[in-house]
Amino acid sequence: MNWLDAVQWNDDGLVPVVTQDIDSKRILTHAWLNRDALARAASEGRAVYWSRSRKKLWRKGEESGNVQQLHEVYLDCDGDTVVFLVTQVGGIACHTGRESCFYQRLDGDQWQTVDPVLKDPAQMYGKR
């Protein structure tokens, strides 16, 4: 059996992936993988995702330079969620210029931004 066959792909052929910093253990991103993205990530040693909005593979950092070097890949007990342990090159995982995409914390009944912008997104991506 191919190792990819153990993954429980949803009806769209996707599985969610949580990406975590290998040293700090901070959750950096949540994204999606198709079979090709997971196979390429494992073979290339870097995070490769499936963009649902663009309907194509995307290698983290291909535009921003904030590559995620892949160290380990985990599959949960149900086979329906993947975890990537990575080194986040440049220290920025979020397209907003923050360390993590999870930069809003619930405080009472409101979301509070708790992480600073480390780099202006326009400097990473140009004007969109």
User: 26: how many CB neighbours lie within 10 A of its CB?
Assistant: 14
Virtual torsion, Cα 102, 88, 69, 73, nearest 10 deg: -30
Quote the pLDDT of residue 63: 87
Round to whole Å and give the CA distance between 116 and 58.
Answer: 25
Quote the pLDDT of residue 125: 82
Find residue 74's DSSP bridge partners. Answer: 83
Domains and CATH numbers, the chain: 3-115 (3.10.20.810)
Residue 128: is its pLDDT beyond 70? no
Angle at 123 between CA 117 and CA 128, to 5 degrees: 100
Quote the pLDDT of residue 127: 57
Q: What is the pLDDT of residues 71-105, one digit of tens each?
A: 999 999 999 999 999 999 999 999 999 999 999 99
Q: How confident is the model at residue 124 (pLDDT cuts 50, 70, 90)?
A: confident
Residue 20: is its pLDDT beyond 50? yes
Q: What is the pLDDT of residues 21-76, one digit of tens each?
A: 999 999 999 999 999 999 999 999 999 999 999 999 999 998 888 999 999 999 99
The counts of H helices and E strands in the chain are 2, 8
Largest Cα–Cα separation, the chain = 49
pTM of the model: 0.92
Round to whole Å and give the CA distance between 12 and 5.
Answer: 15
Quote the pLDDT of residue 95: 93
Tokens of 94: 């979020």
Tokens of 64: 């921003």
